Amino acid sequence: MANAEAKRAYDRVYSARWRAENPDHIALWRAENPDRVRLYVHKRRARKYAAENDGWTDADLAQRAEETDAYGCFWCGSDPGEDWHRDHIFPLSRGGSNRLENITISCAPCNLSKNARIAYEEWTPPIAEEPTP
Ligand SMILES: [Zn+2]
């Protein structure tokens, strides 16, 4: 329907202008909501690659971790702490999906060093350090 399209176009222009006029607000919001920024970036990347997405949420990741008793980094087993990443086991950019089955929790060093490489073929996870008691 033409009206809905016009409304969407108007909203897009309006919000783009608002963002341009309020750069501090965005920066402040980003600084205060790092988890939401990360989730947003993650979903935007998934859309960019038009990956299949089954609508998983962080709650699904947490539930799976509980069910499988696997809370640490998927690759090295370390405790990623606050800085955990939502990692694509098979990289998005290589055709991996954005379905829950292809998402795992990893520590920042593993995710960042693996990047878009295929684990165990092009990248080998580090040996986990013994957890400090
Ligand atoms: Zn790791």
Q: What is the pLDDT of residues 4-35, one digit of tens each?
A: 888 888 888 888 888 888 888 888 888 998 88
**DSSP H/E element including 104:** strand 103-107
User: 106 CA to middle of ligand 1, Å?
Assistant: 5
Centre a 10 Å sphere on the Cβ of residue 36 and count the other Cβ atoms it contains: 11
Assigned domain for 34 exists:
no
Assigned domain for 88 exists:
yes
Q: What is the pLDDT of residue 35?
A: 87
Assigned domain for 5 exists:
no
Assigned domain for 10 exists:
no
User: 14 CA to middle of ligand 1, Å?
Assistant: 42
Q: What is the pLDDT of residue 101?
A: 93
CATH number for 131: 1.10.30
pLDDT tens figures, 72-128: 999 999 999 889 999 999 998 888 998 999 999 999 999 999 999 999 999 999 876
State the Cα torsion 106-110-113-118 to the nearest 10°: -70
Q: What is the DSSP letter of 88?
A: E
CA distances from 48 to 5, 11, 15, 51, 86 (A): 22, 22, 21, 8, 16
User: 29 CA to middle of ligand 1, Å?
Assistant: 28
Which phi and psi angles does 69 have, rounded to 5°? 55, 35
Q: What is the pLDDT of residue 131?
A: 56
pTM for the full predicted model: 0.64
Assigned domain for 73 exists:
yes
User: 1 CA to middle of ligand 1, Å?
Assistant: 49
User: 114 CA to middle of ligand 1, Å?
Assistant: 10
User: 23 CA to middle of ligand 1, Å?
Assistant: 35
Domain span holding position 115: 53-133
User: 44 CA to middle of ligand 1, Å?
Assistant: 23
User: 38 CA to middle of ligand 1, Å?
Assistant: 18
Assigned domain for 47 exists:
no
Q: What is the pLDDT of residue 118?
A: 94
Q: What is the pLDDT of residue 38?
A: 86
Assigned domain for 15 exists:
no
Q: What is the pLDDT of residue 119?
A: 94
Alpha carbon 131 to its chain's center: 25
Assigned domain for 123 exists:
yes
How many domains does the structure of the chain reveal?
1
CA distance 82 to 80: 6
Q: What is the pLDDT of residue 12?
A: 85
Q: Best-predicted range by mean pLDDT among 34-38, 46-50, 65-69, 83-87?
A: 83-87
